[in-house]
Amino acid sequence: MSTRARTAAVVTGIGLVSSLGRDLEESFDALCTGASGLGRPTPELAEASNVEVVSQAPDINPAEVLRPPIDPGVDRYLVLALAAAEQAVRDAGLAVGQNSDPERTAVVASTAGGPLRTYEEHAAARRRRGRQAVSPYLCPGMIPNMSAARIAIKYGIRGYSLLLSTACAGGGQAVAEALRLIRGGDADVVVCGGSDAPLHPTVAAAFVNANSLAHGHDDPRRASRPFDRDRNGYVLGEGAAFFVVESAEHADARGAAGYADVIGWGATTDAYHVTKPRPDGSGAAECMRRAIASAGLAPADIGYINAHATSTGIGDVAEARAIRGLFGDDTPPVSSTKSVTGHLMGASGAFEAAATVLSVAHGTLPPTHNLDNVAPHCELNHVRSKPARTEVRAALSNSFGFGGHNISLAFGAASTRGRRVPGVADD
């Protein structure tokens, strides 16, 4: 079946919450202009974990996204998810039960860590004060599927629902699952995305002790340096990104305009190491090849790749090898938007998919900022310093996670009658 048929899955709504803010156009402008969201941690977090640079999302009052009474089992990862999903639903003009059949509407969410903060706070309370200090709200509060469940409850979504937890590939896999559901005829509309809130002393300390995080940078905005010679780790970040994805027929029937179509996906597993990718990038290369084939395209049709590139020595090289292995020396334009957002963990794949969707929608490719000197073995057709303006027929968004999970999404022009072209800052 042609992926460009009217059964295509089109993105009609996007919601983002990150250190760049909560506004869709302002967030994409920041990706393009380099208005970094990276900064220093709170003194408490720095003292407890020794983390030096973080990417912190705005504070959100749970009452903004949940109806009272607000129970104490609502973790920050969940509040971020609800805030991003609310933006996406509003952006799409979706009203479940009015312009969308609740039984034909689905929700797929992702998180890498889930309610880490909630569980640790209750565990600490139990150690200090005993069993009675543990709230009964911990029972639903400690299970990560609550982001999918709470979104379904809030909007009355009664179709398929799922929580994915494939580390930092999960956000991308949530979008792939939406495409599978729509192509398979199992849903007309899918609310999908990911969220994570890992800026927690225990989590941050673990990454610091693993020597994974960026350190020693005088300017925190320069700490995330994908593909750069002087990179020395990623920046731990929190945030959420959600989409409304629906069939083109359904979108047209309710008069919704699309940003871009989800036209293909590919997934592989490295089966190599719990944290390291295959050094030759073969798993990632096969993942991209499958996404392109799923879209009914050839490598030459790809006009942009939003790389997973986290700013680590091993990961950036492996991905660069994967891209060259599939495309040869003349690669499509490549950039990593983590240079201004840091690594949003389970939300990263969804956030970067949003950046890719917007790139396709208005033909603007955000650059990799802080890429002053390309590192050995990372030579690609990098978009550097400023955005590139070009029509993009198709683009890929890559996400890779601990455990060897690889996902690549392919996007193309929206197939709805109406198309949305959001604004972007000038060079």
Give the catalytic positions in this structure. Answer: 168, 308, 343
CA dihedral 157, 162, 168, 169 (to 10 degrees): -100
Secondary structure of the chain in HEC code, one letter for each residue: CCCCCCCCEEEEEEEEEECCECCHHHHHHHHHHCCCCEECCCHHHHHHHCCCCEECCCCCCHHHHCCCCCCCCCCHHHHHHHHHHHHHHHHHCCCECCCECHHHEEEEEECCCCCHHHHHHHHHHHHHHCHHHCCCCHHHHCCCCHHHHHHHHHHCCCCCEEEECCHHHHHHHHHHHHHHHHHCCCCCEEEEEEEECCCCHHHHHHHHHCCCECCCCCCHHHCCCCCECCCCCECEECEEEEEEEEEHHHHHHCCCCECEEEEEEEEEECCCCCCCCCCCCHHHHHHHHHHHHHCCCCHHHEEEEECCCCCCHHHHHHHHHHHHHHHCCCCCCEECCHHHHCECHHHHHHHHHHHHHHHHHHCEECCECCCCCECCCCCCCECECCCEECCCCEEEEEEEECCCEEEEEEEEECCCCCECCCCCCCC
Residues in the chain: 427
Amino acid at 174: A
d(CA 222, CA 239) in angstroms, rounded, equals: 20
Token digits for 13?
């709504």
d(CA 308, CA 47) in angstroms, rounded, equals: 30
Token digits for 272?
């190599």
